[in-house]
Amino acid sequence: METRGAPARLRGTPSWLLNQTATVAQRLVADGFGAEGARRYHYSLLATLEEFGPTSQAELGRRGGVDRSDVVATVNELSERGFVERSPDPGDRRRNVVTLTEAGTAHLRHLDEVLARAQEALLAALPRKDREQLVRLLNQVLEHHS
């Protein structure tokens, strides 16, 4: 992505810089996951299940940042590959509870490595100290707006 030809006015605004960087980051992550037959939604849902344990599909989508309309299809994909199991909620038979399997945990670990390589590629121009500071600052901005 060529940004040097952009007007200085744009290159001096954090919103434009974040947007341009996000585009690069999304491409790197999508390419990395795609090479493994995975998508960002797969990673989001697997990571959510690992951290918070078995949960309903609706809660899984909320916590994982996946739109409701995409949760069912993503859970179906993960289930077909043996990474999650879906079972009726004993407290409410209208709902399903999704659980991470051993294979899902192993796949998540592999995707962690893929994601780490994408992060490394994204931030290759920065020394470790600057990377850590960038992450802290971005978290601070996000927390402020949450």
* CATH class of domain segment(s) 8-145: mainly alpha
Cβ(131)–Cβ(123) below 8 Å = yes
Give CA–CA dist 116/39, Å, rounded. 15
Domain ranges for the chain: 8-145
Predicted confidence (pLDDT) per residue in 56-105, tens digit: 999 999 999 999 889 999 999 999 999 999 999 888 888 889 999 999 99
Q: Rounded to 5 degrees, what are φ and ψ at 87? A: -145, 155
pLDDT of residue 2: 63
Alpha-carbon dihedral of residues 82, 88, 94, 95, nearest 10 degrees?
Answer: -50
pLDDT value at residue 92: 85
